[in-house]
Chains A and B, each alone.
Chain A
């Protein structure tokens, strides 16, 4: 990832947010506009009669410096796609690349390195180590990897997520929204190439959801962070630059900067089966 001066960030905010184009940072030699891609990705569970196809020859590219939302009904394969992209699950066939590195061919050691260097995670729940304070949780990935801590960046991230007063608290002393914001800060802290967020607002009330999504959006806008987010909440998806809709292991729709209504419409059009998603 490129480093941004505050000035740059402000420029970027005004000029590029509407285009949805990958972040091109001046001074960095033409980075790949694609941060992660899946090639002919197939994942099946079980075998014989009971075989379930979770992903069916999926080809997809995730743009750098953008937030991509993956939507779809239960069993559509959206979580499987993200898990395979993040190296948490191994595909049955096909390839996965993050920053040009083939994730699908990695061993445990390389995967550990990938997680340290390129990937950040935000889960639906249980994001934080209960024995560590908020600050320690945020710094944990850097310390695990033995990387130096950039205090200025830390202060900035903490300021953005609004946790200055909460740094010494343990997770059990934080609200659900605060916990998710700590998780976001942690994911941001190591400046990974891409953050995978798995239903990050799934357990939050709508106000906390807005706060977390706002922060994620802000990190994309201001710092050019790439984020891939799985969600089934159309409101959350409406924060994304691009929305992919999966059904039966295939990408059925690819929406660019859809509004909340656009998304609702898509699901309404999909028929009764997805009616509950609009609720």
Chain B
């Protein structure tokens, strides 16, 4: 029997091609997603081992939970929601205590500044593909163990840098070259002192080594608490400069813990433990990639399984007489079953094998492309044995599932029935349809509920229990559950919809092509399950893509509407480096001719409201903000008057968060480190007094020596006097500067609450208040809005503005359209990936339709022959099959669009408060999908139609 199966497989091999491709694609996605995840994980842990290579980390001992950000919080603040547990910050002074612990080689805080720009010798900024450029502080005293200098050495002065090998390669800089580094306060001339390599690639990031003091300086500028840090890294000395073993790390951590003061709220953990934790949270953050790929794997395998079912149905149909013969000469049903299953196993093995290779190749390709684009990754790619076995099992199981029904049919059909070519009528689809409809209704209701929660101001219903339930679930869960219910519901409902859909969608074709159109739309209703399953592949793909399409389009429209409706200024000025616009750049812009007004928003660091920081940004602006820059959308109060009148203007999200209403009094406190004039003067005076005392002592000595005619001694003393005087002259006055912390405490009134998208998470006050609350050091300009003088050529003006800030590299001047497109271009990039996925699901869907039609054609051989005999032309047969395929494809697309667009609308509603203010449904895109789906159907019908026409009419109709 197995021999028969193998022979059959060989003779059917050509027909298996499509099934093999489908299985291979599905398995490729599965294996590829595993490979990709593993590669990313490897990359992350390699980078972790290199970039966080301390033996022991000291960090806060108390977990910090952010109560305010439970609802997703604001994304504007740039806080990364990595999902990792956060701990309290600790004092940097602890380094002294830790350094004294036995076995500690070095304890230091590693400061890193991101958002800097490296400018090469030609004056061009070194660009990356989205990876950051960052300056990291290290020195001979506080080294970075994983970095080894290949040439040169550590930077020792503020104007010296070392470059990571990748940065050196990208910039073409060598040791001794002059370059520029653009920090938040402007470009600085630097000299390259060394080039270092690290074990792991930095995934395309440009890493610049600077002295720890430079790194700390710039890092403090954006830090609310400069004397606090998240963690202190400790290198142990036990292994003579080599990383400690796990046991040594534990021992060292224990010793450090014993030495840490009890009131420091600090705790030492081993480097390995820290890295595991950090690696895991980064991997979790990247974890979304795999499910996304797996969704498409599921689509491919789903289609694959019924392509296989269809293929085997065809084979079984054609071999029925053979099976009947086998049965009548005494073969058991099991033996007939096995002849079919043997073929399935063979097919599954071949398909899975190809798929594993394909998946591996795909990831290799992705890595190669990313390296080419400037993001080298060194994580290993090769799939592990488990991945391969998983892929193989998935492929085999799907094949066997697909083949088992036809095989059963082959095995259990009574020999006589098998001899006759009768098509068993389909099982009724109504029960399944009812179940599907119930699921759909539940899903839709869940979504309505979600939208209600999201859109409600306060409680979604008047029933308390429901409100508590809503608060408990939030919006994420109902959104996901609703989507799941709807997708499963629609797939179940599908067969019941085929009949009506055939009538509705067939209406146009049956009027344009009376005969073929009618035949086509009725043919679809013959095997409703098959038609629905074929359409389901397209349904899922289109649903995902159209949902994201709506979200993306709404995001674009929301940004555009900010600009179109609110923005009055002609230009916006941003800085890429930590959001700070250097003072020089600000001045340069103010100096440009042709500007009517310039508004600068100054960020106030560390402002606390009633003792707590807000989840957002506090900034000071000119009185003209709401008249010249953005028209306020006030929810309550008059924003313009409030700003001018020295009251707070609060964004809606913050106001809701904190429960503030117009008229509420809020206590605003800031802590600023300022130069303590008195203390500085006293320090200087003390120093001068001590110098004078020294000189006086020396002069007395000199007089004595002169009197004693001790010429040598007198000369020596005179030189000493000279020395002391010179030292006093050369001493750095900065070393006497004493600072103190000044607390400012003001009670302010909430004057207005505004819902402008850009200001939703902002607290705004006027410059006067800002100056009282902040200092020059703690306030910096983040944004500027410029209004041109009437009659100015805006393009020309923009050129002049760009020239003015050119030397600052990081400052960009955008006109209204560019301002809009900053968001759009990012969205477009996401859409590009989506379209790639769409293309893939279309390819898979085409396979499905081709296969379904091929099966349908093979079932209808005689009918098509009959049609030909009574005068149907070849074109009409092609047309009929084309219309059938197009209806299947449009059917799937319409279902997908309906569910996908609805999902997009709900998601938009849920995230309305996070910036998706405007709903925009991309109708042109939807139209394009529909037209595309018609084309897809027509293309898919070509090959089955050719097969149908190849069959001689005579074969089809002759009775033997």
Contact = CB atoms under 8 A, between A and B. Distances in A.
B285 interface: no
B522 A123 contact: no
A202 B960 CA distance: 12
B318 interface: no
A94 interface: no
A108 interface: yes
Contacts of B523: 131
A105 interface: no
A143 B514 contact: yes
A125 B870 CA distance: 14
Nearest to B873: A112
Contacts of B863: 126, 129-130
A202 B959 CA distance: 10
Nearest to A170: B522
Interface string B930-960: 0000000000000000000000111001110
Contacts of B954: 83, 88-89
A115 interface: yes
Interface string B836-871: 000000000000000000000000001100111111
A79 B960 CA distance: 11
Contacts of B872: 112, 144
Nearest to B872: A144
A198 interface: yes
B869 A121 contact: yes
A175 B522 CA distance: 22
Interface string B104-136: 000000000000000000000000000000000
Contact of A144 (B522, B525, B870): B870
Contacts of B874: 108, 112
Nearest to B862: A126
B522 A131 contact: yes
A190 B518 CA distance: 20
A246 to B, nearest CB: 17
A127 interface: yes
B312 to A, nearest CB: 24
Given A124-B959, A126-B863, A131-B526, A116 B871 contact: yes
A202 B866 CA distance: 17
B866 A198 contact: no
Interface residues of B, number: 26
A89 B866 CA distance: 14
A186 B952 CA distance: 22
Summarize A's interface: helix, strand, loop or mixed.
mixed
A109 interface: yes
A199 interface: yes
A98 to B, nearest CB: 14
A198 B959 contact: yes
Nearest to A199: B959
B175 interface: no
A20 interface: no
Contacts of A140: 515, 867, 870
B866 A123 contact: yes
B869 A115 contact: yes
Interface in A52-80: 79
A123 to B, nearest CB: 5
Contacts of B382: none
Contact of B870 (A109, A130, A131, A186): A186
Interface string A135-179: 010001101110000000000000000000000000000000000
A202 B958 CA distance: 12
A124 B869 CA distance: 14
B519 interface: yes
B959 A123 contact: yes
A76 to B, nearest CB: 14
A123 B525 CA distance: 26
A132 interface: yes
Contacts of B526: 130-131
B959 A125 contact: yes
B870 A121 contact: yes
Nearest to A89: B954
A230 to B, nearest CB: 10
A88 B871 contact: no
A83 B959 CA distance: 12
Contacts of B146: none
Interface string B509-533: 0000011001100110110000000
B871 A141 contact: yes
B876 interface: yes
A112 B871 contact: yes
Contact of B866 (A108, A127, A136, A143): A127
Nearest to A130: B863
Q: Which interface residue of A79, A127, A131, A202 has the most chain B CB atoms within 10 A?
A: A131
Contacts of A129: 519, 863, 866-867
Contacts of B958: 79, 83, 198
A115 B959 contact: no
A67 to B, nearest CB: 20
Q: Which interface residue of B514, B866, B868, B876 has the most chain A CB atoms within 10 A?
A: B866
A261 to B, nearest CB: 28
B870 A141 contact: yes
Contacts of A113: 871
Contacts of B525: 131
22 contacts: A79-B958, A83-B958, A112-B872, A116-B871, A121-B866, A121-B869, A123-B866, A123-B869, A123-B957, A126-B863, A129-B863, A131-B522, A132-B519, A132-B522, A136-B518, A140-B515, A140-B867, A141-B870, A144-B872, A145-B871, A190-B871, A198-B958
Interface of B: 514-515, 518-519, 522-523, 525-526, 862-863, 866-874, 876, 952-954, 957-959
Interface of A: 79, 83, 88-89, 108-109, 112-113, 115-116, 120-121, 123-132, 136, 140-141, 143-145, 186, 190, 198-199, 202
